[in-house]
Amino acid sequence: MRKKLICANWKMHKTPDEAELYLRAMIDWSISFKSNHESEVVIFPSQLCLETTSRILKDQKVQWGAQNIYSEVQGAFTGETSPKVLAQLGAQWALIGHSERRQIFKETDEMIAKKVAAAQSLQLSPLLCIGETLQQREYGQTFSILEQQLAEGLRLRKPGQSFSIAYEPVWAIGTGKVAQPQEAQDAHRMIRNWLLKNCGGEVALTTSILYGGSVKPDSAAQLNQQPDIDGFLVGGAALEADSFISIITNTLL
Ligand code: PGA
């Protein structure tokens, strides 16, 4: 069975003190929460809050990871984040290929493929983000863009090791324009079919495919009804612990 996965992407928000308050609220909540589903809750803090997160979430149910890693484990790469150090700090996850990395920081599919392989080589579970721009959608290119990002992004993956996918239409990120449930389901179904054809039945059945882009507690409840949506990657609405917890409970109860 596929896991439900609900992830918070803090982007470049929060100080270590704010992070600590938020994470303690998540721990308090997670102690009493019982889900009917197999599930994980994952926090992606900004880089300078990773150490605080590592300390506070040690031995807790709530998992965590970095919003970005470099594709080499160590070396002369000024300013980059080592996946080896991240793994040593106890992270379980690495977010890879977020559209802000692709668009603002010019990350290519080639770099993204290497990052997926680097994460897997250190037992960090990659959450690969893919998604079309508004113009690509209007030109009817959505599926071909997603296929290309999947093929390139997963090119160097290690067979037998798990990964997850976040479908995040670029036009929905931070805009308040959430995809309609059927629109999202169509993309998720296409992604699952692609996995079936290119990675096999086992991978297609067990890989969690998340939706991201302006998810709020209400839209999470609606999108969650779709058969191929296995959870969410949430930015703005996950910045407050209470709002993130509402999204989690609307997904898992
Ligand atoms: P948003 O961000 O929920 O604020 O749209 C989602 C993301 O960028 O992962």
Question: Would you state the torsion angle of the CA atoms of residues 141, 143, 132, 116, taken in this order, to the nearest 10 degrees?
Answer: -140
Beta carbon of 214 within 6 Å of any ligand 1 atom: yes
* Residue 192 pLDDT: 98
* Residue 253 pLDDT: 80
Q: For ligand 1, what atom is nearest to the CA of residue 215?
A: 3
Beta carbon of 169 within 6 Å of any ligand 1 atom: no
* Residue 69 pLDDT: 98
Between the CA of 196 and the centroid of ligand 1 the distance, in Å, is 27
Across the chain, mean pLDDT equals 97
Between the CA of 176 and the centroid of ligand 1 the distance, in Å, is 9
Between the CA of 76 and the centroid of ligand 1 the distance, in Å, is 32
Q: Which residue puts its alpha carbon closest to atom 3 of ligand 1?
A: 235
* Residue 108 pLDDT: 97
Residues of the chain falling short of pLDDT 70: none
The percent helix, strand, coil of the chain (3-state, each to 5) is: 45, 15, 40
* Residue 37 pLDDT: 79
Q: Any bridge partners for residue 67, and if so which? A: none
* Residue 92 pLDDT: 98
Q: Smallest Cα–Cα separation from 64: which of 118, 10, 112?
A: 10
Q: Smallest Cα–Cα separation from 164: which of 199, 214, 137, 215?
A: 199
**E-only strand ranges, the chain:** 4-9, 39-44, 63-66, 93-96, 125-130, 164-167, 209-212, 231-234
> Alpha-carbon distance 244 to 41, whole Å?
10
